[in-house]
């Protein structure tokens, strides 16, 4: 049987009631408090404190504090008045039982309302968060669309400028060709025009007689001439060989710097003739952010050995950075062709090739093809969280586009 606590104290005003209940050594966490409009119960085993209030109180405004070995109630009255006592007097057991049951029902109903209120509040918060995220996604999508449209506009303007320059160049060539044709025609007309001589006729006759006495020309022959191959138009001089060698070396370096595709392999240094060395150089240039130089190094490596899939795979990454998307797709496809048959040793390289080609497809807004490559990458590594997340984003984009 619980021990009923009766040594509590209370004070009141016409608006409030202050009740102090000692815990009698019990821990604050072990105390259970129930408060309704007409009933208060505090259970801290083995003690029990309950009061059937003299008049109803405002439960929502009332406050309960537990600490320093005491429970303090601040109760707000529903009606302004002074109570004769804190609890009802002369209450029979049946009435107390009904009051307890009503209090329990009210507490359960309030708990249920609180749960429903919290659930509704949670749903509202989730709805608001979802709306905010959708708004952010929409703004990001519009920003990306604006950037793409701006890039398309710039590309169109550059193409129009290029076409205009081509047209101007074509007209210039036509004008030069026409001028050349007129000059050639003028020259031919000058050669075919009869010459009117001012020399008197007797002199002409005397000249004709003189020409008849000229002996006939000798028979024609041919002379075989062989030329020594020379880079320079002048004859070879030993005193100029040092300057010529220096000039040739500078020309080779200039060709290497301007366009590595037109580079003569004889101009290469010994280390530059190794595809592995060129691949490492390309990786260093890529890490430094010099993607165009990395492409040049990989181009030369592919000229030396076009059967290394890693060269195409690395060049595909460079083209992605440079937004040469079609070239990135082409290099990734070439790498996949060389990575056959598919074995565990080349799984990592095939995964990169599928992801890079899929990324290029998505940048070109070919989301279906991009999703196919990402799904092929997931077959190689199903546990890859990044690839799985990107594939899900592409799938949502396709669903949003189709809807």
269-285 pLDDT, tens per residue? 666 778 898 899 999 99
CA separation for the pair 163, 169 (Å, rounded): 10
Asked whether residue 378 is assigned to any structural domain, the reply reads yes
- Secondary structure letter of residue 314 according to DSSP: H
Asked whether residue 185 is assigned to any structural domain, the reply reads no
Tally Cβ neighbours within 10 Å of residue 364: 14
CA atoms within 13 A on the CB side of 272: 14
Structure tokens at 41: 């119960």
- What is the domain extent for residue 68? 3-91
The CATH number assigned to the domain holding 354 equals 1.25.40.10
CA separation for the pair 382, 398 (Å, rounded): 21
Asked whether residue 245 is assigned to any structural domain, the reply reads no
249-267 pLDDT tens trace: 666 665 555 455 555 555 5
Asked whether residue 120 is assigned to any structural domain, the reply reads no
Q: Give the pairing type, strands 3-4 and 47-52.
A: parallel
Rounded to the nearest angstrom, the gap between the alpha carbon of residue 76 and the centroid of all alpha carbons in its chain is 60
Q: In what order do the strands lie in the sheet with 39-44?
A: 3-4, 47-52, 39-44, 32-35
Boundary (domain end) residue, out of 73, 91, 109: 91
Asked whether residue 27 is assigned to any structural domain, the reply reads yes
Cβ atoms of residues 314 and 279 within 8 Å: yes
Local structure of 43: helix, strand or coil = strand
Asked whether residue 17 is assigned to any structural domain, the reply reads yes
Structure tokens at 106: 């009210």
Boundary (domain end) residue, out of 75, 91, 107: 91
Number of domains present in the structure of the chain = 2
pLDDT at 331: 95
- Conformational region of residue 372, where left means phi above 0, alpha means psi within -120 to 50, and beta covers everything else: alpha
CA separation for the pair 93, 91 (Å, rounded): 7
The CATH number assigned to the domain holding 69 equals 2.60.40.790
CA separation for the pair 395, 368 (Å, rounded): 8
Asked whether residue 67 is assigned to any structural domain, the reply reads yes
Boundary (domain end) residue, out of 57, 91, 125: 91
DSSP secondary structure string for all residues of 228-275: ---SSSSPP-GGGHHHHHHHHHHHHHHHHHH-GGG--GGG--SGGG-H
Asked whether residue 40 is assigned to any structural domain, the reply reads yes
Helix H, strand E, coil C: the string for 366-389 is: CHHHHHHHHHHHHHHCCCCHHHHH
pLDDT tens per residue, the chain (403 residues)? 777 777 888 888 888 988 888 877 666 666 778 888 888 888 777 787 888 888 888 888 888 888 777 888 889 988 888 888 888 777 777 777 877 788 788 788 888 888 888 888 888 888 898 888 888 989 999 999 899 988 888 888 888 888 888 889 888 888 988 888 888 888 877 776 554 444 444 444 554 554 556 667 766 667 777 766 655 555 555 556 676 667 666 666 655 554 555 555 555 566 677 889 889 999 999 999 999 999 988 998 898 888 999 999 999 999 999 999 999 999 999 999 999 888 989 999 999 999 999 999 999 999 999 999 999 999 999 999 999 999 999 999 888 864 4
Rounded to the nearest angstrom, the gap between the alpha carbon of residue 23 and the centroid of all alpha carbons in its chain is 62
């Amino acid at each position: 049987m619980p021990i009923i606590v009766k040594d509590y104290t209370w004070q009141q005003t016409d608006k409030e009631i202050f009740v102090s209940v000692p815990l009698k050594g019990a821990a604050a966490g072990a105390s259970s408090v129930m408060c309704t409009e007409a009933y208060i119960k505090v259970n801290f085993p083995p003690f029990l404190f309950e009061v059937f209030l003299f008049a109803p109180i405002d439960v929502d405004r009332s406050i309960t504090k537990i600490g320093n070995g005491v429970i303090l109630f601040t109760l707000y009255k529903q009606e302004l008045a002074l109570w004769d006592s804190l609890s009802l007097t002369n209450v029979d057991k049946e009435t107390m039982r009904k009051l307890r049951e009503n209090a329990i029902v009210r507490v359960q109903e309030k708990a249920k309302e609180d749960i429903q209120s919290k659930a509704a509040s949670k749903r509202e918060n989730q709805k608001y968060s979802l709306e905010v995220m959708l708004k952010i996604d929409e703004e990001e999508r519009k920003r990306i669309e604006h950037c793409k449209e701006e890039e398309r506009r710039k590309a169109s303007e550059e193409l129009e400028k290029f076409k205009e320059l081509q047209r101007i160049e074509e007209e210039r060539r036509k004008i030069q060709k026409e001028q050349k044709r007129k000059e050639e025609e003028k020259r031919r007309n000058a050669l075919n025009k009869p010459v009117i001589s001012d020399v008197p006729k007797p002199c002409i006759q005397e000249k004709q007689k003189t020409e008849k006495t000229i002996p006939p020309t000798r028979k024609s022959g041919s002379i075989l001439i062989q030329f020594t191959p020379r880079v320079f138009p002048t004859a070879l001089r030993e005193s100029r060989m040092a300057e010529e060698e220096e000039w040739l070396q500078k020309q080779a370096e200039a060709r290497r710097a301007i366009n590595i595709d037109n580079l003569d392999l004889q101009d290469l240094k010994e280390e530059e003739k190794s595809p592995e060395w060129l691949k490492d150089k390309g990786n260093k240039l890529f890490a430094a952010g010099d993607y165009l130089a990395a492409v040049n190094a990989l181009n030369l490596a592919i000229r030396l050995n076009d059967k290394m899939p890693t060269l195409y795979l690395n060049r595909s990454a460079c083209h992605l950075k440079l937004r040469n998307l079609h070239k990135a797709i082409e290099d990734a496809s070439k790498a996949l062709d060389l990575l056959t048959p598919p074995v565990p040793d080349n799984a990592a390289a095939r995964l990169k090739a599928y992801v890079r080609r899929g990324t290029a497809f998505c940048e070109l807004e070919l989301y279906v093809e991009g999703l196919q490559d990402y799904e092929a990458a997931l077959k190689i590594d199903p546990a890859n969280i990044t690839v799985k997340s990107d594939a899900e984003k592409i799938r949502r984009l396709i669903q949003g586009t189709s809807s």
